[in-house]
């Protein structure tokens, strides 16, 4: 009996999930898994050794080497054969910022937890809305503020406006996680951010426009008009990624850790 695959720790989802050639595609795209993408990022972009990469992923050096070699072959095939590339699936979980093995002492996630953590009561549901001048901001990855609502027994008991300090896309999912948010209401949102939110157990209600306060009230009244298949056309350029809700997105996805 073969040993079960050990989940790999991934720092953050990629900003872009699909890369296409200018030519019309006549073959299926090459699939690069999220953990394979992470080895490319760690070794080729961050300059880690294969042993350091394995430590970061939470696997041995030999396993990291195999993942890396497979990823490099896929990238070579995409370039040489002129095939499109998609990033999806794999055996992974999203780092929560508490890992003692992080190669960066100034890990951004740790800083976010310190900066944004706001405790909430046991029976409180926390809703965040992308926010600008009272309205729902329409591009999740560029939002400069969230309005955060604490709800208890179906009523808003407190709200506050949180600055994102210029952070975008996948990093914003970490901000929401640090804020202990349960639900996000927004306009358009890219596939990578959707995956990040899903892995963190944050329920997404996208494709919503209009007044932020009114949207929260509509949600509490169970009549919020939202798009379950929301995507951000500006960011994804037609990438077919559906809203994930609170479940894992990739094949073999390992859940929250």
Fold (CATH) for 8-97? Arc Repressor Mutant, subunit A (1.10.10)
231 burial level (CB within 10 Å; 0-12, 13-18, 19+): buried
Taking residues 45-60, report their average pLDDT.
93
72 burial level (CB within 10 Å; 0-12, 13-18, 19+): middle
Within the chain, which residue ranges are assigned CATH 1.10.10.10? 8-97
Work out the pLDDT band at 245, boundaries 50, 70, 90.
very low
16, 189, 195, 200 from 241: Cα distances, Å? 11, 10, 9, 17
Three-state secondary-structure class, residue 132: strand
Percent of the chain with pLDDT over 70: 79
pTM of the model: 0.68
C-alpha 83/C-alpha 92 separation (Å) is 25
> Phi first, then psi: what are they for 18, rounded to 5°?
-145, 135
Within the chain, which residue ranges are assigned CATH 3.30.420.130? 109-236
Fold (CATH) for 109-236? Nucleotidyltransferase; domain 5 (3.30.420)
Looking at per-residue confidence, does 99 or 119 come out higher? 119
| Least confident residue range of 61-65, 73-77, 92-96, 236-240 | 236-240
pLDDT (0 to 100) of residue 115 = 66
């Amino acid at each position: 009996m073969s040993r079960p695959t050990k989940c790999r720790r991934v720092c953050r989802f990629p900003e872009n999930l699909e890369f296409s050639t200018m030519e019309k595609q006549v073959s299926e795209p090459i699939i690069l898994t999220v953990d394979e993408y992470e080895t490319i990022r760690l070794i080729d972009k961050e300059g880690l050794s294969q042993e350091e990469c394995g430590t970061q992923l939470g696997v041995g050096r030999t396993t990291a080497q195999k993942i890396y070699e497979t990823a490099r072959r896929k990238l070579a095939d995409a370039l040489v054969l002129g095939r499109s590339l998609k990033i999806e699936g794999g055996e992974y979980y999203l780092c929560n910022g508490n890992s003692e093995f992080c190669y960066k002492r100034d890990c951004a996630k740790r800083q976010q937890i310190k900066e944004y953590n706001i405790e909430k009561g046991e029976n409180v549901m926390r809703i965040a809305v992308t926010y600008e001048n009272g309205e729902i901001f329409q591009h999740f990855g560029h939002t400069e503020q969230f309005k955060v609502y604490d709800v208890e027994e179906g009523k808003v008991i407190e709200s506050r406006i949180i600055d994102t300090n210029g952070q975008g896309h996948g990093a914003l999912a970490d901000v929401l996680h640090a804020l202990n948010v349960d639900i996000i209401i927004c306009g358009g949102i890219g596939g990578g951010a959707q995956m990040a939110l899903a892995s963190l157990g944050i329920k997404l209600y996208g494709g919503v426009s209009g007044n932020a306060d009114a949207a929260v009230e509509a949600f509490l009244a169970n009549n919020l008009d939202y798009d379950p298949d929301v995507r951000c056309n500006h960011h994804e350029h037609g990438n077919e990624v559906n809203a994930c809700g609170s479940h894992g997105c990739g094949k073999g996805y390992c859940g929250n850790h």
